[in-house]
Amino acid sequence: MKTPKGFLWGGASAANQFEGAYLEDGKGLSVADCFTAGSRSQRREYTDGVEEGKYYPSHIATDFYHHWKEDVNLFAEMGYKAFRTSIAWSRIYPHGDDEQPNEAGLRFYDELFDELLRYGIEPVITLTHYEVPYALVQKYNSFADRRCVDFFERYCRTVFSRYKGKVKIWMTFNEINTMMHGGEQQTGVRIPEGADRDQVLLQVAHHLLLASAKAVKLGHEIDPENKIGCMVCNPLFYPETCKPEDQIQAMKDNDDMFYFSDTQVRGYYSNKAKKRWERRGVELVMEPEDAQILRAGCVDFVGFSYYMSGVSSTRPVEKVQGNMMRMVKNPYLQESEWGWGIDPYGLRFALNQFYDRYQIPVFCVENGFGAEDVVSADGQVHDPYRIDYYRQNIRELLKAIHEDGVEVMGYTAWGCIDFISAGSGEMKKRYGMIYVDRDNEGQGTLKRVKKDSFDWYRKVIASEGEDLS
């Protein structure tokens, strides 16, 4: 089985996880720059600015900012048709509410996009990927304040205009639905002492949805050729048993994941969304024009991340940490070193789930395997476990296309090159097909080494998915 003509094979990363150069060339501090390193057993700390004596892995990351030509050349060697990354908002507007953009930041992405296009690689750009300028947190408590919607719109106008004709595929907020699991990493928002957590987070969510809708409308006005999607995290919940109560719980858990995409695709809050407010005693502050803003900013496609599945249960049972949220383990699945259930069938299920629900194109923009890769005595990095993960997942993606009729735009593997893990803040939890010599303490030469998965993925792309051997 091959992928259809025009299918976008490639890889993905995010500015805050690999660029580094966190205050270089006029860049301001972002929320991501205020998260310390962590581990599987230790949560990352979100500090008030940068505190002396603490290690912040994003500050250098894997230094894509100074290695981008070398790295893009490697992506081209793999045969990428698309490369997904993000623009660091604070590289363009260092404080978020600046009147004028930072030209040096704009120029960096000009050069990056030009280089990608020179190799025939389509830039797929997320407007913000956990990268809200930290100054907006300090001044407004981020998107808890509606004024941040306008600042985001100003930023979008700048980048849509600047990169018109260069970038045609966009997404608004990365994994926007993780907002409801704390909001710190997504926007940097802090819950004021004594405030109702649900009220704060759902109000922030409303502002994010308004900002996304305004971005979509604006992007279409500036360039009618733009395709602008949402991007949601899809961990996927199965019922633990055929017990009816477990079935209902799985329905509820999955519905929580759809709260944002339902609104972004349909342009209005569903009755289920309104019932969620009612159950939690939340009264959103809305302006009369908000309904029209949402209606005018419906997305063109659904982008999503998929790494793992879990189960929904009505019995008391321990949950484990998954991608940005805790889940009940699925006993039928093997697990990664970080306890994430390996479920390739779940990718096929997710593709069908989104397509059945919305009937618009879907795009798997994150799918990957974090592992503690090591350089062998021969100087190479052998990662058969990653190849096997991708082989199984891509096989199910092809079935979704050919057997189920799902309209899939592309597949960008997470990740193209090693970078900082967003969840744990580690380097040793490596996702890339290109090894970067850097460790959890920030030591290393930053030398790039092709892993075995590099050549394997090159073969997959060249065969349009037909050769998975």
Catalytic residue, candidates 122, 240, 366, 396: 366
Mean local confidence (pLDDT), 144-162: 98
Catalytic residue, candidates 175, 184, 396, 426: 175
Domains of the chain and any CATH numbers: 8-462 (3.20.20.80)
Q: Is 464 a catalytic residue?
A: no
Mean local confidence (pLDDT), 227-252: 94
Interhelix angle 452-462/384-402, nearest 10 degrees: 20
At 388, the amino acid letter reads D
pLDDT of residue 173: 98
Comparing C-alpha atoms, which of 372, 390, 373, 391 is closest to residue 382?
A: 373
Considering the chain, what is the average pLDDT of its residues?
95
pLDDT of residue 50: 98
Residue tagged 């049972």 (tokens): 317
Instruction: Give the predicted TM-score (pTM) of the model.
Output: 0.96
What is the number of alpha carbons within 13 Å of residue 401 lying toward its C-beta?
Answer: 22
At 385, the amino acid letter reads Y
- pLDDT band of 100, cuts 50, 70, 90: very high
pLDDT tens figures, 29-71: 999 999 999 988 889 999 999 999 999 999 999 999 999 999 9
pLDDT of residue 122: 98
CB 156 within 8 A of CB 215: yes
Mean local confidence (pLDDT), 267-279: 96
Q: Is 111 a catalytic residue?
A: no
